[in-house]
Amino acid sequence: MGSPGRKIVHDRLADILAQREVDLCIINCENSASGFGVTPRIAEDLFAAGADVLTSGNHIWKRREIIDYFPTQPRLLRPANFPGISPGRGLYVGSTKSGTGYAVLNLQGRTFMTPIDDPFLAATRELAKIPPDVKVIVVDMHAEATSEKIAMGWYLDGKVSAVLGTHTHVPTADFHVLPGGTAYITDVGMTGPHDSVIGMEKRGILEHFFDNTMPSRFVVAEGDIQMNTVLIDVDESTGRARAIDRLNFRLD
Kindly list the catalytic residues. Answer: 59
Name the strands in the sheet holding 225-234, side by side, starting at the edge strand that comes first in the sequence: 191-193, 225-234, 241-250
Query: Of the candidates 216, 228, 219, 212, which has an alpha carbon nearest to the alpha carbon of residue 197?
Result: 219
Residues whose CB is less than 8 angstroms from the CB of residue 56 and which lie 6 or more positions away in sequence, other chains included: 28, 29, 30, 38, 76, 77, 78, 79, 106, 142
